[in-house]
Structure 1
Amino acid sequence: MAFSWGRSLRAQHLLFSILLHTAWEVGSGQIHYSVSEEAKHGTFVGRIAQDLGLEVGELVPRLFRVVSKDRRDYLEVNAQNGILFVNSRIDREELCGRSPVCSIHLEVIVDRPLQVFHVEVEIKDINDNPPVFLVKQQKLFILESRTSDSRFPLEGASDADIGANAELSYKLSDSEYFTLEINTNEEDTKSVDLVLKKSLDREDTPEHNLLLTATDQGKPELTGTAQLLITVLDANDNAPAFDKSTYNVRLFENVPNGTLVIRLNASDADEGVNKEIQYHFGSLVLANIRSKFSIDSNTGEIRVNGNLDYEECNLYEIKIEAVDRSSFPLTGHCKVMVKLLDVNDNAPQVSVTSLSLPVSEDAPPGTVIALISVFDRDSGANGQVTCSLSPSRPFTLVSTFKNYYSLVLDSSVDRESVTAYELVVTARDGGMPALWATASVSVGIGDVNDNAPSFEQPVYTVFVKENNPPGHHIFTVSASDPDAQENALVSYSLVERRVGERPLSSYVSVHSESGKVYALQPLDHEELELLQFQVSARDAGFPPLGSNVSLQVFVLDENDNPPVVLPPHAGVSPVTELVSQSVAVGHVVAKIRAVDADSGYNAWLSYELLPEDGVGRSPFRVGLYTGEISTTRALEDSDAARQTLLVLVKDHGKPVLSATATVSVSLVESGQTFKTSSSTSGALGKSGMGKDIALMDVNVYLIIAICSVSSLLVLSLLLYMALRCSTPPKGVCGPGKPTLVCSSEVGSLSYSQQRQQKVYSWDNVTKNDLMAFSPNFPQPPGSREGGQIQEVVMEHSGKVSQNYYLSNYVILIFKFSQYIVSIYMIPITCQALYK
């Protein structure tokens, strides 16, 4: 009935005495709440969102969640109002046992950005456990000869509560023979002794039945009872006695089996068999103690019989009985208190939770990556754990609370340098020797579009033969982007501009994915020698990044233009040249002039006199590179008076293209030529001898003029070649004057057609083109992907500019000498004609 009354009071206490308070612990950053155990479901604990400074409306978007260390759902948070409430039954004794402080540690986690808060909810004890006696009926055998004040140990009660709720007082039912005595030893434990007040008389009362009641100090008070059955024995006068009532022993945990704990020695004042003693565990010794220890009944040695673990139990109370061998044995009692000392036998435990991965490479320092908790079952220094991180950069560990750490970004990261970090968290305790445990954390780095596509070279030079087919692949540009996924997906496009009067896109195009550049139409070297443009590479990131590369497309000449004979020998009708039969050997009869629209070898012309059928050895020849028709021997009377010369003009291209010029030569007697000339001019010569002398004078002057011009030209050419040879023997391609064709064999010069060749660049500047070469030069090799060919070309623009100025210098000297000779020849020619 007393038990029911206690239960009723406890229920009433639960309804009105739930203690709730909220406070910030100074310097710890932790929120403390308290709630009584056995609180009902839904009991208010605290306004956790308000106390953490969070808006209620942010809880759901920021993924507000509560994580308990032991993964139990004792407490829950209402995400709609931010209130922490009791979710399931909390039994303090089940949760913390007899620990004086019982708390539930919660980790409150919110994302965007990641924040972590520590909440400690203290579980208050209520008096919900009555005192309990392990043995409901305790039997004692007492000799009637025992003197007053004899003491008999009783098994006390235990209470699962703590504090005042576990402080017990004992009461014995009324008896004129017995009373209770409560003693507190140095381990702060109470022992209950039954004290004999006066001598017993077995013949009068052989048995005594008493009720032992234990009452705690809780509100309401709860009680427990045990029956004492005392049997009075008749015999032995003296019971065995120990020199101490309590023995204290200290042992290290995990000592091996068979280790001696203590050797007991009791004495008996009797003689004979009544003095012989045997040692036994007390009848009230629990089974778990019997499994850990053993006692030798003859020697009283207590030894370790099982595995002792400080973390399981650190104090053992062993009650020993010493019994003599009398027919009516007497018993002596003592207590052995075995206290275990902690050994560093438990390594720390590391737990990594709430990983926020991957880490964006633009994440600022201080970003929380993960939460780390450590735990060690040992005590004291053996249970003090410190954590370290390897490698220490670019992450660090920040201690947020006891045994709690945050893995924090300490400095900036770059995914292109390191794509992932393999971190090792090491937890080490303070024991000797220290034990440690590790946990691996793989932190991946998320890509950000922070790298623009890049080309291997800022400028590419491409050589393309003219007359290419439409859609011809001329080059492939390729840009690389060290980013990942769509941030590294590169597309290509033309940087549009105008080339002359037409847009760039009418000449070339670029494939957006492969970067292949195509010529959309046939290119003509005579129209366009250099096409400069830019290709843009752009990634697919957000925002997109891009870069440009310049392409210089040189259009190489092909032999697609035949030589063209210049007037006066360009007509269909042959031009008639009058030649005196008395001219000397080597006399120049006529000069064939021709030009070729091509360049280089393709514009280098040679002249050849075609033989006529049925004609013997011709008295005429043509200069291979000069085009001058001259006599090879003295003219004879047998030579035909009128001869038609067919001159073949060929270039040096492949295939060879040619043109023909027809010259009609009329042989006249001496003096007739000048008569013809005089009649043409409207004046008559004085005499044949005077005309011959005049003709001779004119020829002398002409020879002097030609020698002067040739000498100046040879000197200019030698100077040019000397300056040219001072640079590396590279081919030259660049702006300059009209194409100059040189002959190292003959030492003469001829010009191709005077034409302005346009070179298109970004600033649309028109330049003259000069290309110089010697026929002794080897043919430049050429082959490139998609029909490209290689020419021997100047590597640096500075060398192109140097050759450009040298070429202009030579041309200037030649034109100046030509101009001087022309001025000098005008009066001489007029004087000769006049004569």
Structure 2
Amino acid sequence: MGVWWAPAVRVLVLQAAWALGGGQVRYSVPEEAKAGTVVGRLAQDLGLEAGEAEARRLRLVAQGRRASVEVSGASGALVVSSRLDREELCGKSAPCALRLEVLVERPLRVFHVELEVTDINDNAPLFPVNEEALNIAESSVPGSRFPLEGASDADTGANAQLSYALSPTEHFSLEHQGNKDQSASLALVLTKPLDRESVAVHRLVLTASDGGRPPLTGTVELVISVLDVNDNAPQFNQSVYKVEVLEGSEPGSVLLTLSATDLDEGFNSNIMYLFGRHVTTKVKEMLTIDENRGEIRLRGKLDYEEMDSYEITVEARDKGSPPLSGHCKVVVEVLDVNDNAPEVWVTSLSVPVPEDAAVGTVVALLSVSDRDSGANGRVRCAVWPASPFGLVATFAGSYSLVLREALDRERVAEYEVEVRAEDGGAPPLRASRGVRVPVSDVNDNAPAFAQAVYTVLARENNAAGAELARLWARDPDEAGNGRVSYSVAEGGGGAVSGGVWRSASSYVSVDAESGRLWALQPLDYEELQVLQFEVRAVDAGEPPLCGNATVQLFVVDENDNAPALLPPAGGGPGPGAAGEAASGPGSGALWAWAAWGAPAGQVVAKIRAVDADSGYNAWLRYELWEPRGKGPFRVGLYSGEVSTARALEEADGPRQRLVVVVRDHGEPARSVTATLSVSLVEGAEAALAAAGSSGPGLRAAAGAEGDAAAAAAASANVWLVVAICAVSSLFLLAVVLYGASRWAPRAAVLSGPGPATLVCASEVGSWSYSQRQSRSLCVTDGAGKSDLMVFSPNFPPPPGPASESGCAGKEPSVSLFASGMNLRRERCPPQWELV
């Protein structure tokens, strides 16, 4: 049993060690190694026992090119099978690493092996040509530099570091700036002036040596011709131009513009730009130069994988005779472009996802790959939006899309998840794959009204069945879970009407489907001002959920009540004044006395009226209808007091008939009329009539004839008494009459039963509130100029103690201002006085 388990344990230990070690074996072998050279003990390094390499078929996987190494079947060693040439395999790239895949069967495993081929000094420096001809003007001064084409070495590292030496000469020296970069400047420097007549041609040997051990060398012969006359050659503003360009750039793009100057004048200073004589045909197919402007343009498509840099010699030649030239080197470096984007596939998808799914639920499986290698092939994956889903890496190139947050279908019913993959290139390439994840619904939301309290205004006298408002409750669930029905909650509110409590369902109803609130009967403001109740919304889920909202229904007053005249107030008037009376809610016939000679402003009578409406609809105004113009009487616009407009004269006649119209401020206004008959008598008669009256001073007249008869009888009696008094005590009567007329009060006080409240006018237009049922009115000397009005209650107070004391424990503190009416209503009917 232990023997059977041993191989399995070794395989598990090998897999664990392989996972911890990164899954890769690295070897190094020098180039040009002989066939059969052992590179490494591959089977042993992979953890295989002796003899397992052949049993488990350890072998290399072909990579599309001929492999230069192979696995020895018996020993499992990695050996060289054919010539390894680092320059052929990797060119100038360093280091040169070959990536191999090793396959082991039973069980099947794939391993990555990296084989680095190290460089040896097997390539000598090589000049582009064996002989290079130079033309140098004899007028060249010492220190003049003449660029030379350097050698190239196919090796890398120290084996490619070149040094140069020039054969002995007294006229020239060699200048080499830097020995690590093969594109560094190499120039021939003139140390001694030339004399064409003595030496027309100088032949020198330039030797290049690399840094290998032993070093290898290459030579080129320099043939220098000394020119005459045109002694200024064009000069570039820099000796080496470097430019970087991305592979795949569009043909026609300008890479750089060269600039050279010539100190000569005229024709000798005209410069044209040319590629050097040693520029290859491949370079000319890829690049072109403008002879006049010096622009180097891209002609073909650059491919970094074919060539990563171009070194070009450019000549600036003047048009002198003979022409002189300046030289520079242009190094074009091709930048690699990450041209393979990652690829993403969805291998499995489990939808829809219920909104109550647990965190960690796997929604989809994905696979990601990139055909590039190195940094360009390393892929990073992310999910967008970042929540509520996330990616979990299962193994190389495979991911799980899992739920990381709780779902809410009412907030988001469906997710468009985008899996984004990005490689490590510069710039990186990206790919994405969209995954549609719908969310299924559960009944987890109760219906919710848009607002907790609805305020509804309804005009009184509305028709039965009239729509008052539309209520709407939102349930974000779908199907039956979001289907809402409405109803008025049982016991959810009501109001007192006529002293009897009535539920809200007797006034209003709500449509179960639409939420339309409509009236079951006409509303009367005088009976019902505010109705508060609850409306319930229930969904059709299982189990059903519900929500409530409070509705406050305010009945808006309409001007549907005309003013009504009040009966006379208790008590009699004082001298020179009259009481008040009314014959009912319609027009009334009233009468009063006034003394001849009464001054202007003397109050004769007071008309009292009430309106069952409220607000402006109950704000009453009093106007004289007849007579118009300069009559002897006038009526207070808001007080209803009838007073003398001027001193009364005998020419005014024994009797004045006044028609007073009482109107409210409603739209349209409603009114009632009162007819007041004022009898004009002597002051003493008026006083006696007032004293002898047992009822109110202002009485209702039965008709015009009855009035006249009563006035005539009263007048005869008065004159008889006056005659007797005149005979007996003429002097005393004269004194009494004089004192009465001199000290008589100039204002009348009308009062009723109960404690009196004195209200005096100060400024027109202010409102005050009183809850007492009886009032006293004081009119000062300025009453003729101030509008003093007393607004009676909207409707008569109920009998009993409440009429005397008002609302028990309810001391009102409400004011109405003419500029803006702010009113707080109490439970009992308010009484308003406008001062």
- TM-score calculated relative to the size of structure 2: 0.43
- TM-score calculated relative to the size of structure 1: 0.43
